[in-house]
Amino acid sequence: MQIKITTLVDNQPAPEDDSLIHEHGLAMVIQTAHESILFDTGYSDALLKNARRLGIDVGQIRKVIISHGHLDHAGGVKYLIDSNPCFTLMAHPGIFAKKIIRSNGTSRTFGISEDLPVLKKKNIRLDLQKEAVVISENIMTTGHIPMETDFEEIENRFF
């Protein structure tokens, strides 16, 4: 089985095409002979603009996998809905938990908790799992990976 992975959004500019938008975040399309899967959505609508530039039809995507609920990986979901209202969002059940970051004496939301009502209103199917999930032939998630190492710490600015 052949799999093609195309990066739509990344932190770094694409050296081969400076017309592509780069931003803090990640979005990749995984294409097989039978389907296209979106892994993360980046922060903004850059995924839509870059997909268009690369000739990728986001309207054909039926599965969107979100690695975690930070805006730089899931913020583009709200932009994708208008171009494709027919996908299943696959993620950890905690993806919509409110996430707040404290910086320079102020606090702000940096997760996608506000997007849940929009997803429900648009009838986006949610497949929220803690366990490993088979996405497609030869493509699966790891499931929840607990933070158990002594070198991983959550900074006190996140809560």
User: What total of structural domains would you count in the chain?
Assistant: 1
pLDDT at 27: 98
Q: Cα–Cα distance between 159 and 154 in angstroms, integer? A: 9
pLDDT at 104: 85
pLDDT beneath 70: ranges in the chain: 152-159
Instruction: Residue 80: give its domain's CATH number.
Output: 3.60.15.10
**Residue 148 belongs to a domain:** no
pLDDT at 159: 47
Domain boundaries, position 93: 4-140
pLDDT at 1: 76
CB of 31 closer than 8 Å to CB of 135:
no
Helix (H, G, I), strand (E, B) or coil at 135: strand
Strand (E) or helix (H) holding 80: helix 77-83
Q: Cα–Cα distance between 134 and 147 in angstroms, integer? A: 23
pLDDT at 152: 65
Cα→Cα distances 82→33, 85, 151, Å: 25, 6, 41
pLDDT at 38: 98
